[in-house]
Amino acid sequence: MARIRLQEGDLTQADVDAVVNAANTRLVLGAGVAGAIRARGGPGIQAECDRHGPVALGDAALTGAGELPARFVIHAAGMEPGGPVSEESLRACTRSALAIAERERLSSIAFPAIGTGVGGFPLQRCAEVMLEEVRDHLSRGDSSLEEVRFVLFGEPAYRVFESVHDAGKVRLQMEKLSR
């Protein structure tokens, strides 16, 4: 089974097959994670997004990664432009990003805490939802992914994800013991 790894740092520096962008449905690279990807990756990423066109809320799109160390960017649309992220859209865009990683047979992917900046989604609930979706995806046992990394901006975000991840591991161990 693939390894889930947590890291504090800059998503745009992740050396993985694909980084996930916290995107809007119009695939406009504005502020936050998207702005950092645009700034570090160069204008080619936005040009590819423009050619692709809008995606549905909860869907995702694949582009090249420009000057980033990653090979691809998966743009996971968790919100409409200027709108909030909901739990449903976060779940859907996380699943869509994982589906693209599988379709492309990627071995590593790095996620940010989608929706916790401009999208206004609570960090604790984001960690719970995203880790649950990733665990569920990986538990099927047929994934090409060897590593799913969460690259979190700042120690507070890292600590929240760490706490949620550790609680999930304990819960799984307790379920095994109770069988």
Per-residue pLDDT averaged across 61-75, rounded?
98
Question: With 90 as the cut, is the pLDDT of residue 172 above it?
Answer: no
Question: With 70 as the cut, is the pLDDT of residue 32 above it?
Answer: yes
Q: What is the reported pLDDT for 1?
A: 62
Per-residue model confidence as pLDDT tens digits over 3-27 = 999 999 999 999 999 999 999 999 9
DSSP-assigned states of every residue in the chain: -PEEEEEES-GGG--SSEEEEEEETT----SHHHHHHHHHH-HHHHHHHHHH----TT-EEEEE-TTSSSSEEEEEEEE-TTPPP-HHHHHHHHHHHHHHHHHTT-SEEEE--TTSSTT---HHHHHHHHHHHHHHHHHTS--S-SEEEEEESSHHHHHHHHHHHHHHHHHHHHHHHT-
Per-residue model confidence as pLDDT tens digits over 160-170 = 999 999 888 88
Confidence of residue 159 (pLDDT cuts 50, 70, 90): very high
What is the CATH code of the structural domain delimited by 3-177?
A: 3.40.220.10
User: Domain map of the chain by residue range?
Assistant: 3-177
Calculate the average pLDDT of the chain. Answer: 95
